[in-house]
Amino acid sequence: MTTAQTLLSTVFGFDEFRPGQAEIVDAVAKGANTLAIMPTGGGKSLCFQLPALMRDGVTVVISPLIALMRDQVRALKEAGVSAGALTSGNTEEETEEVFAALDAGHMKLLYMAPERLANSGTHNMLRRIGVSLIAVDEAHCVSAWGHDFRPDYLRIGELRHMLDVPLAAFTATADQETRSEIIARLFDGSTPETFLHGFDRPNIHLKFEAKNGPRKQILAFAQEHRGQAGIVYCASRAKTETLAKALRDAGHNALHYHGGMEADDRRFVEAKFQSEDGLIVAATVAFGMGVDKPDIRWVAHADLPKSIESYYQEIGRAGRDGGPAETLTLYGADDIRLRRVQIDESLAPLERREADHGRLNALLGLSEALRCRRQMLLSYFGETTEPCGHCDLCENPVEIFDGTTAVRKALSAILRTGEYFGAGHLIDILLGAETDKVREKGHDTLPTFGVGKEYSKREWQAVFRQMMGHDLIRPDPERFGALRMTEAARPILRDEATIDLRKDTIQQAKQNRRPAI
Ligand code: ADP
Ligand code: ZN
């Protein structure tokens, strides 16, 4: 039998495997059920194409992306491999050609859109042609709560039963919940050999800052990268325009980009960014899909992204060429409130909203991380690593203090006022400020009134923000964003758990004139 290594160079023209590929190829080739989680661009397709050549019979590849299937088929054919695709985009001749190759018995890889599986003729055909492996690309499409749900993916489990052959599933979506759904639905709950690789992008420097005059913070970061191509992600269309202008006023070459612009204008910005050196684009997340510029040297988030996955994807646009790249993500209590409300007000089912809160929580946890940020990011994706030495927290370790008492006082202020108020009023109570609202509500008679004088207003704002970051409190959209306690806070309130908070964001708040949130 030809070895994987030989095929790698003779058929695919590569000298060596990328990290993780060799192990996956081995497992798939020997017929194990496998689940491989690799970031986009990590080289997934090789991990089923190569085993397909090592095994007898046909490998069926299920993929939702027609253009991608056609590209792969073309590339395989050029490399001398018999491959074909059955998609809605086929011409009659193409389909004929596929069936002829199947009948002749030399087809190695048959690509298929999931919709085909709804057709009973397809099942009969697959039974006939001697399938020896099913490969599922974009396997997260089987997850009902994910963003790319394809109901026809649910038929794959049934197909595996019928053909009784091994199945190899591939995805770039790494969260635990999606993984469990893939295992339940594609593998009938029996655990496949699982591989998780390559999420680390060591050339990308990670940094977060609490918002503290955000425009100034972004301008300072851009200044450090004057003349280098960068993206500034913003949460709103309006902000892309104001920030691009502020950058131009500061002498940068900057444009804005968002989904509300005319298609021609969008293409103009994309092309200019691609071809010019040192252009900055202030954009919503709409900017990115079509962007494949290898030398983006920096990415900044003027607002907190919506989940840890989005964060990873957006910073991942920097440094594709492997050269050094820097990132800065700003976050504040307003962002957290905005993202929570967006999730709560979406029309998604409850479970989906809970999952989205979970993904946001993971990002908030990362914002308020106490130790190596990369380690925490990678551990979310399931990779265990040493502290990286190349993130803001490795370079400047933060001081931590026991914030249990402060958190308990804040929770008590929330509960004693019936979970009906926002941070501003609650902080007034803690500080013993006799505002009109405090007097009007009779909150100056609460036992909590004035118990928090050891901190300033800004310090309390930082405590509240960290509490949101740890998901101890959440704004209630039905009460105009009033803060309510979550179940996670109960053990702290009951004296059953303690909580560490970061001192730096609090001290930082103390040193600056502007409010930290
Ligand atoms: P994805 O994981 O996003 O599906 P692909 O399978 O399309 O990624 O691979 C991404 C790129 O990496 C392709 O251009 C592919 O040719 C290249 N590639 C894959 N494996 C190797 C390898 N071992 N050595 C060099 N390049 C590779
Ligand atoms: Zn680190």
pLDDT band at 443 (very low <50, low <70, confident <90, very high): very high
E-only strand ranges, 448-499: 473-476, 482-485
Residues with CB under 6 A from ligand 1: 14, 17-18, 21, 38, 40-46
Q: What pTM did the predictor assign?
A: 0.73
109-123 per-position pLDDT tens digit = 999 999 999 988 899
DSSP for 169-181 reads EEES---HHHHHH
pLDDT tens per residue across span 235-279: 999 999 999 999 999 999 999 999 999 999 999 999 999 999 999
Atom of ligand 1 at shortest distance to CA of 17? 23
Q: Which residue has the higher pLDDT, 517 or 249?
A: 249
Q: What is the pLDDT of residue 504?
A: 66
Nearest CA to ligand 1 atom 16: 43
Q: Which ligand is nearest to the CA of 387?
A: 2
- Give nearest CA residue, ligand 1 atom 18: 43
**Distance between CA atoms of residues 111 and 96, nearest Å:** 14
What amino acid is encoded at 48 in this protein? Answer: F
State the chain's maximal CA–CA distance in angstroms.
88
Distance CA 358, CA 267 (A): 35
Q: Are 60 and 98 in contact (CB under 8 A)?
A: no
Region 187-204: mean pLDDT is 90
Ligand 1: centre distance to CA 40 (Å): 9
**Residue 19 DSSP one-character state:** T
The Cα–Cα gap between 430 and 134 comes to 61
Task: List the structure tokens of 436.
Answer: 């009109």
**What is the spatial distance between Cα 273 and Cα 292, in angstroms, rounded to a whole number?**
10
Protein residue whose Cα sits closest to atom 23 of ligand 1: 17
pLDDT of residue 1: 52
Average pLDDT over residues 451-455: 95
pLDDT, residue 326, reads 98
Helix 120-128 crosses helix 155-163 at what angle (to 10 degrees)?
30
How does pLDDT run across 308-360, given as a tens digit for each residue? 888 998 999 999 888 999 999 999 988 888 888 889 888 888 877 887 887 88
Instruction: For residue range 394-408, list pLDDT tens digits in order.
Output: 999 988 999 999 999
Could you report how far apart the first and last alpha carbons of the chain are, in Å?
64
Instruction: Identify the pLDDT of residue 373.
Output: 96
Cβ density class 134-155: b for 16+ within 10 Å, e for less: bbbbbbbbbbebbeeebebbbb
**511 has pLDDT over 70:** no
Residue 509: pLDDT band (50, 70, 90) is very low
- Who wins on pLDDT, 475 or 325? 325
Q: How far is the CA of 218 from the centre of ligand 2 (A)?
A: 22
Encode 410-452 in three state secondary structure. Answer: HHHHHHHCCCCCCHHHHHHHHHCCCCHHHHHCCHHHCCCCCCC
Q: In the prediction, which pLDDT does 322 show?
A: 87
Residue with tokens 């913070």: 217
Least confident of 207-221, 390-404, 426-440, 467-481: 467-481
Residue with tokens 């009109």: 436
Q: How confident is the model at residue 512 (pLDDT cuts 50, 70, 90)?
A: very low
Amino acid identity for residue 208 in this structure: F
Rounded distance, CA 21 to CA 34, Å?
13
Please state the separation of Cα 230 from the chain's center in Å: 20
What percentage of the chain carries pLDDT values higher than 70? 96
Question: Cα–Cα distance between 180 and 137 in angstroms, integer?
Answer: 16
Task: Output 333 or 75, whichever has higher pLDDT.
Answer: 75
Q: What is the mean pLDDT of the chain?
A: 91
Which residues have a Cβ under 8 Å from the Cβ of 69 and sit 6 or more positions away?
61, 63, 85, 87, 111, 113
